[in-house]
Amino acid sequence: MYYYLLYFGVAKNDFTEQDFDVLLEQARSRNHYLGITGKLLHCEGAFIQLLEGLEVAVKEVYDSIRIDERLVAIKKITEGHCEERYYADWTMEFKDVGIEEINKMENCSHPNVTEYVKTASAVKLLKLLAKS
Ligand SMILES: Cc1cc2nc3c(=O)[nH]c(=O)nc-3n(C[C@H](O)[C@H](O)[C@H](O)COP(=O)(O)O)c2cc1C
């Protein structure tokens, strides 16, 4: 039995290409060690991330992210147990999308990703991660 956790976070400052490289290298190496898989979506200064693995490992990593100074705000969207991993092949898949792309995929017209996340259900956000 695995555990999953989906959250939304807002970056303190704009991430440069180098910032993303550093973040992903750090995340993927620790995730590999802890057996965490998942997907990280970045959209104009905000992140939507799904972490999956053993409950204790997922909670440990989320506790680190919660106090990460690169984020100013973080909100857990949903968590729970699951039989299988969605992202078994990825220690952390990454995608960077613009709000226009999200609006197009979701057939809506939100001014930014924060507004989109406010109105979207957890299932919708999980589907968005899968589609992106
Ligand atoms: C948006 C975002 C996503 C992150 N994702 C992960 C992740 O998937 N796995 C991970 O180990 N660290 C991730 N981190 C980094 C952690 O916050 C933390 O810096 C790192 O795990 C080291 O934690 P420690 O100082 O408690 O050892 C992420 C940070 C940010 C800002």
Output the CA 70–ligand 1 centroid distance in Å.
10
Phi then psi for 97, rounded to 5 degrees? Answer: -130, 155
Q: Hey, which of 19, 26, 66 would you mutate to test ligand 1's pocket, going by the most ligand atoms within 8 Å of its Cβ?
A: 26
CA of 72 to the centre of ligand 1 (A): 14
Quick: pLDDT tens for 33-71. 999 999 999 999 999 999 999 999 999 999 999 999 999
Confidence label for 4 from pLDDT (cuts 50, 70 and 90) = very high
Annotated domain spans of the chain = 2-97
pLDDT at position 22: 97
- The residue whose C-alpha atom lies closest to atom 25 belonging to ligand 1 is 64
Tokens, residue 128: 């968005």
Give the Å distance between the CA of 45 and the centre of ligand 1.
Answer: 16
Average pLDDT over residues 17-37: 98
Q: Selecting from 3.90.650.10, 3.20.10.10, 3.30.70.100, 3.20.190.10, what CATH number does the domain 2-97 have?
A: 3.30.70.100
pLDDT digits (tens, 9 = 90+) for 76-99: 999 999 999 999 999 999 999 999
| Contact (Cβ atoms closer than 8 angstroms) between residue 52 and residue 39 | no
Residue nearest ligand 1's atom 28 by CA: 65
Bridge-based pairing of strands 71-82 and 46-53 is unpaired
- Average pLDDT of the segment spanning 113-130: 96
